[in-house]
Amino acid sequence: MVAARITALAVILFAQVAYAQVEPSRIPEPPTDALARFQPFFGTYTVSGNYFGQEWRGTLDVRPAVKGWYVEWEINVHSGPIDRQLRMLMTWDMKSEQYRIWRFETLPPEPSDRAEGSGWFEGDEFVMEWVMPAPDGEPGIFRNRVQMETADILVMVSEGERASGDIQRIGVTTARRRL
């Protein structure tokens, strides 16, 4: 009996969501104003970085995605034996009033509580944050601080913060806009 009620409720909820996608009077609007803050970051870049003392090079693309509902960051690294890709999708969540970020990379999938992070602006700097353990397993936070140093140079500083409050710089990525 309980299972039948749950199934009926799921069907009703799905029908409401599906109806909003096909009914012209109920088409939701993307969070255009909140995502407009990313406009200075949009572009294609040549990047170089140093993480834990290891140099790498690659590309970065920052662009609108999913018909303006998200911003996608795609980093491709092809440097020596390193051939990696990191993609992040972010959007403004009107209910929680924060930017939500999802990470996908060339590693085994992370648990959902580590793959999803949050973000906010501090002036012109965008801060991305995920709850992740330090390499030794101690609870911690992984953070990227992104800002435009000039109109054509994006800098991303990555850091780890342990539960004890100690902050360690992990690396710096410098991205030069391709003209």
Q: How far is CA 91 from CA 119, 132, 136, in A?
A: 9, 21, 31
Residues 10 and 40 in one domain: no
Residues 13 and 38 in one domain: no
Look at residues 92, 119, 100 and name the one whose alpha carbon lies nearest to residue 34: 92
The model's pLDDT over 114-156, given as tens digits with 9 standing for 90+, comes to 789 999 999 999 999 999 887 788 889 999 999 999 999 999 9
Residues 110 and 167 in one domain: yes
Domain count, the chain: 2
- Give the domain range for residue 18: 1-29
The answer to whether 128 and 146 are in contact (CB under 8 A) is: yes
Residues 173 and 122 in one domain: yes
Predicted pLDDT of residue 130: 93
Burial of 45 (0-12, 13-18, 19+ CB in 10 A): buried
Residues 93 and 167 in one domain: yes
What's the pTM? 0.82
Identify the weakest region by mean pLDDT among 8-17, 37-46, 68-77, 150-159.
Answer: 8-17
Give backbone dihedrals phi and psi of 138, rounded to 5 degrees, phi first.
-65, 140
